[in-house]
Amino acid sequence: MMEEIYIGIDVGSVSTNIVAINETKEVVFSQYIRTGGQPLESVKYGIKQLEQAIGDKMVVKGVGTTGSGRQLSGILVGADVIKNEITAHATATLSTVPDVCTIFEIGGQDSKLILLKDQIVIDFAMNTVCAAGTGSFLDHQAERLGIPIEKFGEMALQAKKDVRIAGRCTVFAESDMIAKQQFGFSKADIIKGLCEALVRNFINNLGRGKKLEPPFVFQGGVAANRGIKAAFEKEIGHPIIILPHFNVMGAIGAAILALEYIMDTGKTTKFRGFNMMEHNFSPSTFNCTGCSNCCEIIQVELDDKVIAMWGDRCGKWTNSISS
């Protein structure tokens, strides 16, 4: 008998994450892919890798998508549920840490703070504008210092002195780093200061006016950086949990939501199948002139046939496509 699996896809600006879970919510496949400005191609590649990994041993029972590219990827694969990142990340974390109260999530281009009480999201904040609170900030500074980003966290833990870096802006951070280097501080000291600057920026921007309570869970690609984990623990004065699949939690949450949806409704998945990845999907946009809103409409064509449209406030174009 073939094992039943549920696929979760998280499409972001930096990475596309694809996971498969079984009925007990155990991860049986995980793939991290650089999006590279080509979300459709990265999803197709990930789905092909999944097909090769599971062969004919498993059957897909449901699919969920999340992330900034959730609508487009959902249309591409035939998703059963399409959910925002906050819901997906909270769902994945609650499945492992049911009493979690605070989730720190830092990715390559954005960061999120999610607050929960009694397993319900009660507040959240997102940073999608300032790079100083994201992984790209660390990547850029690592390149400037000539240090592989993989060794960044390890070096931060080797620091001998406290160095305060002005981290509220990448421009100020770079200027301050140069000054501190000229003062004779070591690279390890400066890297530790950068980690603390990122955490300080995160807390000040996203956590301002909010009550942060344990248990704390840290996820997203930056959670691999031990220097950032140490900086968070220093800032909040409490241990932080990092789960085994910290870098694909959004995809896990999407998969769990798909599982719950299929279980609750008893419906059959809309998954297009692995062969569908070879069809020609083409997205395009246009501005509706039906009213003063001038909504930007996104439409997706499959083999020259329009199969999905969204972006309109009134539903004129979205509702014009039959399911």
Q: What domains appear along the chain, each with residue ranges and CATH number? A: 3-90+250-278 (3.30.420.40), 98-242 (3.30.420.40), 281-320 (no CATH)
d(CA 62, CA 79): 7
Upper half-sphere CA count for residue 164 (Cβ side, 13 Å): 4
Residue type, 8: G
DSSP string across 290-321: SSTT-PEEEEEEETTEEEEEE--SS-TTGGGS
The pLDDT of residue 141 is 76
Residue 161: strand pairing partners: none
**Cβ atoms of residues 218 and 235 within 8 Å:** no
> Which percentage of the chain shows pLDDT scores above 70?
94
Q: Quote the tokens at residue 121.
A: 């999201």
The pLDDT of residue 169 is 61
Structure confidence by residue, pLDDT tens digits, 153-207:
787 888 778 888 776 666 666 777 778 777 778 888 888 888 888 888 889 889 9
Predicted TM-score of the model (pTM): 0.85
Average pLDDT for residues 143-155, to the nearest whole number? 77
- Considering only residues 203 and 135, tell me which one the structure prediction assigns the higher pLDDT: 203
Integer-rounded Cα Rg, in Å, for the chain is 21
Q: Quote the tokens at residue 222.
A: 């930056």
Q: Angle, nearest 10°, between helix axes 39-54 and 70-77? A: 50
